[in-house]
Chain A
């Protein structure tokens, strides 16, 4: 096969490229330039698309003796990922841009371009496995459960999976680093990236404020309705957040307070004690199935964060929507997050969370609908 390897400049995609080549494929390394202006590229010290990272990727490609190109998908990234990210926060939701990027950029814009240019597949350094199943290719969790990245791939459909390769899914991170060192890759000890790539300093609130401006409002006690403080914009808050609430008054008994709801309409941020965060029922839309679409009611596992725990759930699939009834309460479930559904190690699909509530409906954290009182 002719394979484009998406090379970020990190250790994982470097080893992925080496393995693609050794599997007998014709490999070409492609680094995605995703920042809109070269100036931004130069200014950011870290992140997925700096000049230094492109240079690291290029050196690995040199060493492997494969062609290497930088493909500029900055406009698509801005339109499909960054604007969505901003709009979601502005609407009081908490998006995961990595899923969005995988769905729309890496396994869409990049994959489609690669196919149009005569390639058969795109390979990445994600930790996930592709397994040939009875109904076609299946996406499975990685062998290394600590590194498993199947969550951020839960948006890929059967067509995308048919043209994807994840050469690292059967290895642990330690094995990959050891292999990189053995191959003499300079990136063998390069630290993993954790931040959102377009916010390299990790200051999401500051970044959003620059994009959205300040929109001051009240911080309100979700139970009493008392105004506890003020904030400079609801986009700085995520359900489950504990730090940076800037409250004037502490609770009477000194217990911690968390964000339990965000309403950009009234510019109110609702805070309360930890037990208000417990969620038992999740509603989702924007369904993405990694294979044939299931119907009816199923017993599956549900995961709402990249490295969160998987909770058993009863899942009801209706037209364009799911209701996920968790067997155990989960805390800090925010609209805009993705719930990824598993059957054993297999990823069934995902949905974007629209609403999360207690079983009796007493707490709802749907922005702008009914606010806690």
Chain B
């Protein structure tokens, strides 16, 4: 790899042994993927994926300690994925004990480490840092050292920023150095599509199902999606961005997609059109039957597949302000039709602290509360990662949550029926 004099000096250890190791890490990472140089990180803020003080991650905290003690920290402040616990989310005595005394016993310790490493502020814990209310929204063309698969795919695809699917720890290494290796999704060539997806459904496809189908098919490749603008339009308004947030998270968690282009909609597809598609691109046609096939293949891993759901989680990734409002409206109508005043399954909507703050200023917030829905900043995924939740019948419309936990997936419409009528149509 060709290094500048400054980069070479760091690699030679002239700025300390720890920073030298950081440089070695980033260079070796880049060399694996054929990077020939490092390029500056140009975003204002970074975003880290590791937000949880999980006892099992002691090796990570040891490494962070080393960085802090040596003063090897980033000049960039950062947001971070959501916190794993919130006292407002229903838990029984045993869950409380396991969460606080065993699993996340290092939460306070780790949050202190994050502050020393450059956490933006106390409310910067969300997987949707790119929301306007949060303020960590990179511009088109900016180079990032982010991790968090759903945030990376959103930043690349919807905002047009440039970021590889970096792993946790590698995110902070690039930010500390101020450089990331030039490969993959940071390059023009790496942003070209090797799949054409032809959407031929008879109605607007469920974002989470469509993303899942594409992710499982293309894995880490870049898809160029045709036919979706018919359903989403040609403008990135709030509702469309919300759709793309959920769609992208499913492509990234059910596969390993870091960037997608949607014809006539996402910034690079609007600018470059079919020039983004490689000549040898493969084609995947998605119609109603294909989506049904994908849905039908999801395993149900509940001990009793017919169990009555005990909890519903919505918001993985965190919900947008638009989503909180539209769900409040949908719930009002559905509950009225069902003759119920409150949701019949304990339901948690999750969103960024800053989004919740804005939501609470609206007339929707008291209505949602009156309908029995809890709004939380929690990470549902981290909440569910324990053996007790493994036995708990949880439902969700998040394909990411389905992938990583025992939560059972339903479409948004099915979830609405479940939580307002108890599953009876």
The answer to whether A binds B is no
**B residues whose Cβ falls under 8 Å from a Cβ of A:** none
